[in-house]
Amino acid sequence: MNPYFSASCWIFILATSLTRCLYGESLPEKSTKNTEKENVEALFSEFWTWRLQQSPEFASEVGNHTFDDRLDSYALEVFRKRMTDAERFLQIAHELLPNLEDGTYRSNLELLISELQLFVDGMKFSGYFFPVNRLEGVQRNLVITVNSAMKFDTTEDFRKLISRYRAFPKQAEEIIELMKEGIRQGRTNHAVSMKHVVEQFALLQKPVELSPFFKPFLSFPESVPSTEQETLKSEAKQAIEKDLLPAFKKLETFIEKLIKVLGKNSSRSDFFQNLRSDPRFFFKTKEDLLNAYKDTVDNIIRPKLPLVFKNIPKAKLMYVL
Ligand SMILES: *[C@@H]1O[C@H](CO)[C@@H](O)[C@H](O)[C@H]1NC(C)=O
Ligand SMILES: *[C@@H]1O[C@H](CO)[C@@H](O)[C@H](O)[C@H]1NC(C)=O
């Protein structure tokens, strides 16, 4: 099932009912204040559902286990869709704010607005092109999610984890595609951020019985019948061996190659040599240089001088080549 469809669907529904509200059509016999509060509550609840659906791994972390069988998507079109979803939430929030009188509701709505704005503003910097580095990435996060964020009380809980493992090849593929697009756009991590990443991946390639991914299946609560325990174990083993670890290996190989190819030019002296010799960093003519200098002084520095100095020299600045 595609979780993103339902999210956009309800935004549409919310937006339509909101429009109806704003234009006073079929308003129930309630005070306007109540209706505003209800609309805000609907927005909060729909935003939260969306947030959890977009990031099933975050949902596990905050203790909602509905989506424990899924993984976050790293597909570029999904990042773009999240952006437009967030912009729509933001628009609805801004429409609700002016009529909202209750102080607590206002504060909460303002917080949501600031959070959404931060997300929308941040998207400009395309941070999603850097999904893996030595401090974060699937090679570190999945083990943590499995062993400290998920719950294992029932047979279904264990089944969800197995489904999560089976979903990993798709996630790994999306990460590879995303990084490839990053390379096309010249957006990759610095070599220093990728140091030891390949070793981190390699550490995951252990026999299943010793794997941290198998750890939840080493002991079961009483609520899981012993006949089912064996089935769960063998299914988990299979999912780890056939789906999870090979996909990790594929990602590792891709990153290892990437570091070899792109890392070639990463030495400090090469970098500075490049700065000194690449024509991109030089002006073509004397006039271009002078104009850029004038522009910086007159239009960027000068307007800011009064912020720091009380007495500004009246004499005009002369530029001489
Ligand atoms: C988890 O989130 C989903 C989606 O918002 C919701 O339907 C469900 O009730 C939540 N579960 C709990 C235990 O809060
Ligand atoms: C390495 O740097 C050289 C010279 O600056 C450049 O021609 C080459 O394309 C670079 N290689 C990679 C893989 O970026």
**In this predicted model, what pLDDT tens digit does every residue of 221-244 receive, in sequence order?**
999 999 999 999 999 999 999 999
Domain that holds residue 221: 132-269
Q: How far apart, in whole angstroms, are the C-alpha atoms of residue 139 and residue 197?
A: 8
For the chain, the domain total comes to: 3
Asked if 292 and 190 sit in the same domain, the reply is: no
Q: State the distance from the centre of ligand 1 to the C-alpha of 66, rounded, in angstroms.
A: 6
Q: Which ligand is nearest to the CA of 68?
A: 1
Nearest residue CA, atom 5 of ligand 2? 274
Give 266's pLDDT tier (boundaries 50, 70, 90).
Answer: low
pLDDT at 198 over 70: yes
Asked if 51 and 73 sit in the same domain, the reply is: yes
The length of the chain, given as a count of residues: 321
Mutate to test the pocket of ligand 2, among 188, 265, 274, 276 (most ligand atoms within 8 A of CB): 265
Q: State the distance from the centre of ligand 2 to the C-alpha of 177, rounded, in angstroms.
A: 22
Question: Does residue 267's CB lie within 6 angstroms of at least one atom of ligand 2?
Answer: no
312 within a domain of the structure (yes/no): no
Q: Are 188 and 130 in contact (CB under 8 A)?
A: yes
pLDDT given at position 127: 93
295 within a domain of the structure (yes/no): yes
Last residue in a domain, options 129, 160, 186: 129
pLDDT at 3 over 60: no
Q: Is 292 left (phi over 0), alpha (psi -120 to 50) or beta?
A: alpha
Asked if 34 and 88 sit in the same domain, the reply is: yes
The whole-number average pLDDT for the span 27-32 is 47
Residue 66 CA, closest ligand 1 atom number: 1
Asked if 170 and 216 sit in the same domain, the reply is: yes
Q: How far apart, in whole angstroms, are the C-alpha atoms of residue 281 and residue 224?
A: 66
pLDDT given at position 265: 61
pLDDT at 133 over 80: yes
pLDDT at 24 over 60: no
pLDDT at 28 over 80: no
pLDDT at 320 over 80: no
Query: What's the pTM?
Result: 0.73
Residue 48 CA, closest ligand 1 atom number: 5
274 within a domain of the structure (yes/no): no
Asked if 250 and 139 sit in the same domain, the reply is: yes
Kindly provide the b/e burial profile for residues 255-289, where b requires at least 16 CB atoms within 10 angstroms of the residue's own CB: beebbeeeeeeeeeeeeeeeeeeeeeeeeeeeeee
The whole-number average pLDDT for the span 48-61 is 97
Q: State the distance from the centre of ligand 1 to the C-alpha of 227, rounded, in angstroms.
A: 30
Asked if 107 and 169 sit in the same domain, the reply is: no
Question: Does residue 261's CB lie within 6 angstroms of at least one atom of ligand 2?
Answer: yes
pLDDT given at position 22: 40
Asked if 240 and 254 sit in the same domain, the reply is: yes
Residue 261 CA, closest ligand 2 atom number: 13
278 within a domain of the structure (yes/no): no
User: What value does the CA radius of gyration of the chain take, rounded to a whole number of Å?
Assistant: 27
Asked if 2 and 123 sit in the same domain, the reply is: yes
pLDDT at 18 over 80: no
Asked if 58 and 78 sit in the same domain, the reply is: yes
Last residue in a domain, options 97, 129, 161: 129
